Structures are given as C-alpha cells and as structure tokens.
A = this chain, B = another copy of it.
C-alpha cells in the first residue's frame, strides 16, 4: 500500500522505520525502482533495525549507530530489544549539496504513568543527538525523520532539538494539512491500542521530521501534511502511525564574512546554553533513576543466584551426610532429588545471564551519565565565556606529545 503511494514519485526522500524483513525491503525496492533508484536498508539486532531509506538522489555513504540501551530481551512481547533500535545515516548528493539524512526509531512507550523504559529512551535520545551533532559538521543540510516515541515536549525531544539545533517541521511549516495537532498516532487507527493512549484520547504526535541548514545553505519548510486514517478506497490505514510529508526548500547562500566559530558563538546565546544545561541536568537525573533501578535488579539477580547455589549445596550436603551415615540409602526420593538439582541449575544459569545483562546495562547508563556530566561542565564553561572567548591569534602551537600504552 505504502509502496503504491510512494511509487507516484512525489517524494525526493522516503524514510521508513518498520520494514521488519529483508523481503519487505526487496519488494518495496522493486516497486520504487523507477521513482527512487537509490535505497538502503539498515540491518541490526535480531529482526531489525526496520530502518530504510529510498531516494531520488544518489546515496554516497551510509553509517549505522546502534543504541547501547534498548529494553530487555526477556520482554519478548514488547519486542524492542529484538528490533535492535538504531539511527541510520545516509549521505546524499543533492546537486552540488551534501545532505546528511538520518532515520531512527526509539524504544516504544507502553505505559506513560509507569514508564520503565524512560531511562533507556533518554539515553537513546542522548546518543542520537551526539551522533547527529558529531557526524553532521561536513553537511550542507541535515534532515532527521523518525518515530521518536516521545511527545513534543518530552525530555528526550527537548534534549535532541536543543543540542543539535534541529527544527521541527510541524512547528516551522508555512502550511499544514493533516490530523489535528499533527498527531501521528491517532485513536481512530485500528492497529492502535486505545488503552495505551490514555489520557490523550485523540492521539499523540510522536513522529517527526526535523531539519537544519548550515553556513552554506538555508532550509525552509513550505508545507507539511499527514495521512488521515484510511487509504483512499480501502477500509484500513497504511500503518499503525500516520505518514508525514514535509516539503523542504533549500537555498544556497555564500557564508557571511565572519568565521564559522564566531557565527556559531553568536547563535549559542547564553540563554540557549543555560537552557541546555538544565535539560542535560534533567536527563542526568533520569539516567540516575535508571542506574538505581538497574543496580537493584542486578542485586536481585545476584541474590537469587546465591540462593540457588546454597540450595544446591544444601541438597548435596544432606544427600552426602545421609549416604555416609545410613549407608547407600537415599534420604530423598530420587525424582525429587534430580528435579531439585535441575531447578538449582536453571536458577544459576538464568541469574548468571541476567547478572551479565544488567552489568552491561549499568555500564551503558554510567557511561551516558559520565558523558552528560562532562557535557554540563563544558556548557557551564562556555556560559562563563571561557575558553571559547580566547583570542584567535594563536597561529603556531607548541608540540603536542601523545603517548599511548
């Protein structure tokens, strides 16, 4: 269905987030061969990543960043872990311009009141902004499209937009035609679980097209639209989310006389940096909550494992003592003895695997928290006007030593 819509060739770039099989990608590729000759499907996780890009413009290069945290493998009914959530980047050549196009899908929110995945989603948003910021320096235009699974004012969303300077198509567009408030997960959709939407009965906006230009190129959103429920002449919609379309206009311009540094410094007004410090601090708090939670879970796994081991030893001790004292007679019925031993081994194996998994979760959370702390320090330093306000007349640097063990 989506293939039919897209094959009309009205869109330069198409970003998809839920192509869950190689077969689906190949059939889409075949259908869009004429309208979108260039495509890439990003592979990750067990069944994913689900991310695909189709383009009229040549794809020069691709790169995939897998999020370090992405739910739990034993939450198989949620399935996010198996999807291997990630952010894919494609470097496109649009005429003489280089566009970095990002497509991503963040961990779903299953219960807003008690969202146990919030720390994971915040770390994903953190890594997403890092990835976009660090990989887009050479690009003339940056476009990010994705199912962020976050409301417009959610922490992760603010973090992403503030840090990268990406602007939201829906807020920037000159014209809009689509669902109320730009919603993409609407209650009318038959694939949507209405219970999960409460208290947002009408729906929520969780899919986004963000963009920014560069010193060489301006970018504007002339119009934006969403699909509105069912496919024309069919009783069902394209997908569980409404599809977004943005019409973006690029304008090349010569960079202003001032250097890039000065220009970006002007843009980074103290107010913006101060706001960013607040947002990163808020994110750190959320990650710390996740840290406590992961530590508690790891501790439970360790304790259960020790109990399983103790049970095994106890059983063996009783059996040995009775065997020594009473001769060859078994104090346990044989069946119970073996079943109990098997249970102990099962507990030991499961808790060991969980312990390893939670340790990795902890490392990733700690790593993100460390990076956030460093970032807050840098931002505060910037806020003090130091060291970015240093004179730019240092032409020759002293030697830099660089030992390595």
Chain B residues within 8 Å of A244, by CB: 403-404
Main secondary structure of the interface of A (DSSP, over half): mixed
- One of A111-119, A307-315, A393-401 at the interface: A393-401
Shortest CB-to-CB span from A123 to chain B, Å, is 12
Please, which residue of chain B has its CB at the minimum distance from the CB of A353?
Answer: B353
Known: A40-B370, A250-B400, A349-B349. 5 other contacts (CB 8 A): A43-B363, A44-B363, A137-B137, A238-B405, A249-B400
A7 contacts B by Cβ under 8 Å: no
A289 contacts B by Cβ under 8 Å: no
Number of copies: 2
Contact of A18 among B64, B370, B405 (CB under 8 A): B405
Q: Quick check: B14 and A404 within 8 Å, CB to CB?
A: yes
Chain B residues within 8 Å of A131, by CB: 63
State the CA gap A374–B391 with chains docked (Å).
44
Q: Quick check: B349 and A404 within 8 Å, CB to CB?
A: no
Contact of A400 among B13, B60, B62, B239 (CB under 8 A): B13
Q: Quick check: A245 and B89 within 8 Å, CB to CB?
A: no
17 contacts between A and B (CB under 8 A): A10-B403, A13-B400, A13-B402, A15-B403, A16-B404, A40-B374, A43-B363, A44-B363, A58-B381, A62-B370, A63-B131, A247-B401, A249-B399, A250-B397, A252-B397, A334-B335, A335-B335
- Give residues of chain A (138-191) contacting chain B, Cβ–Cβ below 8 Å: 138-139, 143, 145-146
Chain B residues within 8 Å of A16, by CB: 404-405
A288 contacts B by Cβ under 8 Å: no
Number of chain A residues whose Cβ lies closer than 8 Å to a Cβ of chain B: 103
Please, which residue of chain B has its CB at the minimum distance from the CB of A15?
Answer: B404
- Give residues of chain A (365-405) contacting chain B, Cβ–Cβ below 8 Å: 366-367, 370-371, 374-375, 378, 381, 387, 390-397, 399-405
- One of A93-101, A197-205, A319-327 at the interface: A93-101
A23 contacts B by Cβ under 8 Å: no
Given contacts A46-B363, A338-B342, A394-B252, contact A401 B238 (CB under 8 A): no
Please, which residue of chain B has its CB at the minimum distance from the CB of A390?
Answer: B96
Q: Quick check: B252 and A222 within 8 Å, CB to CB?
A: no
